[in-house]
Chain A
C-alpha cells in the first residue's frame, strides 16, 4: 500500500495507475458489449449434466469409441501429483531445501492437521486422507485453468471439450465415495477385528441382574424389556447399514454438486459478460475447491475414527 501511495506522488506513477484503471474499465465495457447482456441473439452454450463423450477413432476396452472428458482431466491430475511426488523425492536430503522443502512443508502441515484430529491413529489414516485431499484439491483447481472446457472437438455444431473438471462427473465422486466408505470398513476390521461387526449386527440386550432375583410379573416385564431391546438393537444395526449407503450418496453428491455448480456459474457469468466479471467467481471457485477438498478428507477422517473407536462406536449405548 505504501509503495502504491509513493508511486502515485510521481507523475509517471500517476499516469501508470490511470492507464491501468482505464484499461480495466475498457476491458469491462468491452466484456459487456461482447457478452450476452448486450447481444440478446447470443445463445448460452449447452451445459451438460453428464460428462461429454470425446469421440475416438479407435476402440478403448470398457469404453468403446469414446471416453468421458473427465477421464483425461483425472489422468492429468494424477500426472501432476506423480510428477510433483517424483521430483520432490528424487534427491532426498536430510536437511531439505528448495522444492523438497516446499512439498515437505505442505505435507507436514496436513499431517499435523490430521494428527490434531485423529491423534495416535493419524499414521494409519494419513496416507488415504491426504490422497483424497490432494487429488480433490488439484483436480478442482485445475478445472478453472484456461483451456479446460474451451479446447475440444466440434461435433454437431457444439464443441466437446477435451477436459472437464474431474469432480464435475458423478462417476468420479462416486468412486471416491466408495473408496472412502470401503476404507472405513477396512480400517474398522484392521484396528478392531471381528468385534467391528457388532456395529451392524447387535442382537444382545444389556445384562439385567435384577431379573434373576425378581419373580412373577416383574420377571416377565424384565424379559419383555430385554426382547424389545434386542429388537431395537437389531433395528439400530439395520439403520447403521443404511447409513453407510447414505454416506456414499452424500459424499458423492456434495462434491459433484459443488463443483458442477461452480462450472455452471462460470459458464453463465462468462456468457453474460465476456471478460472480467468472472474473475471474482474464479476466486470463489478456488475457495470452494479448497473447502470441498477439506470437507471430504475431514469427513472421511471422522468416519474412520468412529469406525475404529472402541466400545461399539459408542452409538448403541
Chain B
C-alpha cells in the first residue's frame, strides 16, 4: 500500500466515522430544524401572499414585491394550506 493509498483510506475511514456520528446524533436534529423552517416558510407565505387563498393581510402593493421570491413554493404551500387535516396529522405530522 503506497503512502497515497494509505492517506485516502484514512480519509475514507474518517469520512465514514463522521457520517455515522452525524447519522446517529445530528440527522434527526437537522431534519427537525428543516421541518420547522418549512413550516415557517409556509406561515410566511400565508401572511404575505394570503390573497391567493382569499385572506388579504399585507397591502397588495408590497406583497407583489415579494412574489418573485416565493413562486416555486406557492404550489406546495397551497396544497399544504388546503389539505384536509385528520387525527393522524396530529399524531405523526
Q: Do these two chains really belong together in a complex?
A: no
